[in-house]
Amino acid sequence: MVLMATRQVRLLSRQDRHKAQIGLLRSIPGIGEITALLFATEIGDINRFQKLEQLCDYVGLVPRIHGSGEKESVLGLTHRGNHVLRESLIEACWVAIRLDPAMTMAFNNFTKRMKKNKAIIKIGRKMLNRIRFVMKNQTKYVTAIVE
What does DSSP assign to residue 28?
Answer: S
Question: How far, in Å, CA of 119 to CA of 121, rounded?
Answer: 5
Domain segments of the chain as ranges: 2-137
Quickly state the pLDDT bin for 65 (edges 50, 70, 90). Answer: low
- In whole angstroms, what is the distance from residue 114 CA to residue 108 CA? 10
- Give the pLDDT confidence of 3-58 residue by residue, as tens digits: 787 777 777 767 766 778 888 888 999 998 889 988 888 888 888 889 988 888 88
Q: DSSP assignment of 54-123, as one string?
A: HHHHHHT-SEEEEEETTEEEEEEE-S-S-HHHHHHHHHHHHHHHHH-HHHHHHHHHHHTTS-HHHHHHHH
pLDDT-derived band at 2 (thresholds 50, 70, 90) equals confident
User: What is the radius of gyration, based on Cα positions, of the chain?
Assistant: 16
**Confidence class for position 105, pLDDT limits 50, 70, 90:** very high
